[in-house]
Chains A and B, each alone.
Chain A
Amino acid sequence: MIFEYQVSGEDYSLAGRASSSIKKKLKQLGLPSDVIKRTAISMYEAEINMVIHADGGNIRVELSSDAINIVLMDKGPGIPDLELAMQEGYSTASEAARELGFGAGLGLVNIKKNSDHMNIHTVVGEGTTVSIILNLAVEGTL
């Protein structure tokens, strides 16, 4: 099953809508709450990143019987030094974003920590694609 979302880069107050919608669906599917929480945290972080750094983009979430596959694509500035960006505490978020409590420099680290697989493909000046996978192959629950 596939769900697609357009994320606006204009409005901070709407950031997180897509993650909330997915979270609700996962609850309806009766997935273990640990999986739901990890999905919520990693997708939310990635969605927020899109709004702060890249003027929004598209999110595609595919639910299958053994995994949750989230792909976030933006046409933003790209990440010049991915290794640096992966460090805890590193952030290039604007002052306005920080004032709203975003941009603590934990985003990518948090995604990596909470997901089973994360891949970032980024080209400076073209955009970034973040792929996140959470495995569902838990014995007995499926």
Chain B
Amino acid sequence: MYFHSVTLDESKCKGCTVCIKGCPTEAIRVQEGCAHIIPERCIDCGECIRTCPHGAKMAISDPFTMLEDYDYTVAIPAPTLYGQFKDTISCNRILTGLKSLGFDDVYEVAVAAEIITEKTNAMLADKKPGFPLISSSCPVVVRLIQSRFPSLLDQLAPVISPMELSARIVKEREKDRPGKIGVFFISPCAAKVTAVKTPRGFEKSAVDGVFGIKDIYKSLSKAVNEVEKEEPLSKASYVGISWARTDGEGSAVYSENHISVDGINHVIDILENIENGHIQDVDFVELMSCPAGCVGGPMTVENPYIAKTRIYNRESRNREKGGEVRNPVSLKEKVSFEWDYKLESSSIYQLDPDYQKAMQMMEEMEKIQEGLPGLDCGSCGAPSCRALAEDIVRGNASETDCVFKLREKIRELTHEMIELENYMPPGLYKKP
């Protein structure tokens, strides 16, 4: 039922508690010497991959051998791929190298991003004032809003992602081709792997497989080096390329009052503020879970900030050359953009579906929490004392999981033993 790209390699996990602290949805617990990811809570942001000192967290994608199952294969690379190579290496060269790995064609997701920008502009034109439109392009953000900020679901742009649109365009374009057509996303992002297996807003993804950039990078960089003749595969303009970094999508829309936020904790902070009604003069909110945007994705190889500068450089070169948005209008009309259904709250934080029962549990939780030391040390395997109290009420932990509580109990027991030591059964007691 739940699939997650972000997973744990148990053999590498030391059972330390570094990851539980950084998890923005409190989805990790350490039990029996090993971390466990709670599948209902995980949003595939990859923070634990960044923080685990032992490399025990990882993002899995599909095996490259999958290509063999298809008769005609098309790679759809994220614009982030361009940031993984020095900006002196042309986009055409990178795409030619990518194609030579075994694909029949390449279609840039950046082109689809340009189409989504157009769609966003149309949505902004007839938006209710006072309610900023929130971008739905980051799959982590979509899941975060569903689970932690369901009251903002109405403000989420109800459109498919550039990746999904690319795949639909390719499938539409190749629909008369005989044989099995396979579309493969070249991904910087773990959550995209999850989004393909369990999409939000529609039933089935048009993407057939996802390959992490890090997983193909070795063979790709070799192939890029060996390109003899560059093919004119790159069609995207600076607008689409800019989506790889923070504020690319944001500055591409027609809005003077947009904000662009990156990093999962900053994203959470801004969502709190939107929910409180504190953000009023903003039309559009771009939210990126990863630092610096998609270039900071857990399946990239280059440092996010270096990659970001490379993206900037490619953009300005494209702009100087008079790069412009050239959308395949004919295809646009045949492919649907919008979600098929409205997203619903996944309310994973609810203590119980029955309000009265939930109230009782909360009262108990408050009581337990008062007795805990409040140091949020993590030794119990839960990220905070409050989280432990919640786990106890839910029946997933016990108070003695807390080392301080355990120590207290031992002391009480010891005192009792010492006291008992003073007593002798009357038959054994001898007068001195």
A29 touches B350 (CB 8 A): yes
Q: Are B151 and A33 in contact (CB under 8 A)?
A: yes
Q: Does A51 contact B (CB under 8 A)?
A: no
Asked whether B278 lies within 8 Å of A44 as measured between CB atoms, the reply is yes
Q: Which of A25, A44, A141 contacts B276 (CB 8 A)?
A: A44
Q: Which residues of A sit under 8 angstroms from B272, Cβ to Cβ?
A: 16, 20, 23
* A77-B150 Cα distance, complex, nearest whole Å: 38
**A65-B358 CB under 8 A given contacts A36-B151, A101-B278:** no
**Nearest A residue to B350, CB-CB:** A30
CA distance A65 to B358 in the complex (A): 11
Given contacts A1-B362, A1-B363, A36-B151, contact A30 B351 (CB under 8 A): yes
**B355:A27 contact, CB within 8 angstroms:** no
Smallest CB separation, A121 vs chain B (Å) = 24
Query: Which of A33, A34, A142 has a CB less than 8 Å from the CB of B355?
Result: A142
CA A31 – CA B347 in complex, angstroms? 10
- CA gap between A45 and B275 in the complex, in Å: 12
Minimum CB–CB distance from A10 to chain B (whole Å) comes to 20
Chain B CB within 8 A of A37 CB: yes
B356 is an interface residue with CB less than 8 A from chain A? yes
Contact yes or no, A29 B277, CB < 8 A: no
Give the A-B contact count at a CB cut-off of 8 A: 71
| CB of A1 to closest CB in B, whole Å | 6
Does chain B have a CB within 8 A of A19? yes
Interface size range of chain B in the complex:
20 to 34
CB distance A29 to B150 under 8 Å?
no
**Chain B residues in 8 Å Cβ range of A24:** 349
Q: Which chain B residues border A20 with CB–CB below 8 Å?
A: 272, 276
Interface residues of B in 329-344 (CB under 8 A from A): none
Q: For residue B370, give the distance in angstroms from its CB to the closest CB of chain A.
A: 12
A31, closest chain B residue (CB): B355
B260 at interface by CB-CB < 8 Å: no
Contacts of B351 in A (CB 8 A): 28-30
Which residues of B are found within 8 Å of A142, using beta-carbon distances?
355-356
Say whether B350 contacts A28, CB under 8 Å. yes
Residues of B within 8 A of A106 (CB): 280
Q: Closest approach, in angstroms, between the C-beta of A22 and any C-beta of chain B?
A: 11
Residue from A29, A41, A63 with most neighbouring chain B CB atoms (10 Å) = A29
Contact (A40, B362) CB under 8 Å given A30-B353, A141-B355: no
Is chain A's interface secondary structure helix, strand, loop, or mixed overall? helix
For the complex, give the distance between the alpha carbons of A41 and B152 in Å.
13
Complex CA–CA separation, A136 to B349 (angstroms): 19
Q: Is B123 in the interface zone, CB < 8 Å from A?
A: no
B325 at the interface (CB under 8 A from A): no
A67 within 8 A of B: no
B410 within 8 A of A: no
Q: A63 contacts which of B148, B276, B349, B359 (Cβ < 8 Å)?
A: B359
Flag if A28 contacts B358 (CB, 8 Å).
yes
List A residues 96-142 near B (Cβ within 8 Å): 101, 104, 106, 110, 114, 136, 141-142
A16-B276, A41-B276, A65-B359 known; 17 new pairs, CB 8 Å cut-off, are A19-B276, A20-B272, A20-B276, A23-B272, A23-B275, A27-B350, A28-B350, A30-B352, A33-B151, A40-B276, A44-B276, A65-B356, A106-B280, A110-B277, A114-B277, A136-B355, A142-B356
Q: Which B residues are closer than 8 A to A by beta carbons?
A: 148, 150-151, 153, 272, 275-278, 280, 345, 347, 349-353, 355-356, 358-359, 362-363, 366, 390
Question: Can you show 29 pairs from A to B with CB atoms below 8 A apart?
Answer: A1-B359, A1-B363, A16-B276, A16-B278, A19-B276, A23-B272, A23-B276, A25-B362, A27-B350, A28-B349, A28-B358, A29-B351, A29-B362, A30-B351, A30-B353, A30-B355, A33-B150, A36-B151, A37-B151, A37-B275, A40-B275, A40-B276, A44-B276, A44-B277, A45-B277, A65-B359, A106-B280, A114-B277, A136-B355
List the 8 closest A-B pairs by CB distance, nearest first. A30-B350, A33-B151, A37-B151, A44-B276, A41-B277, A33-B150, A29-B358, A142-B355
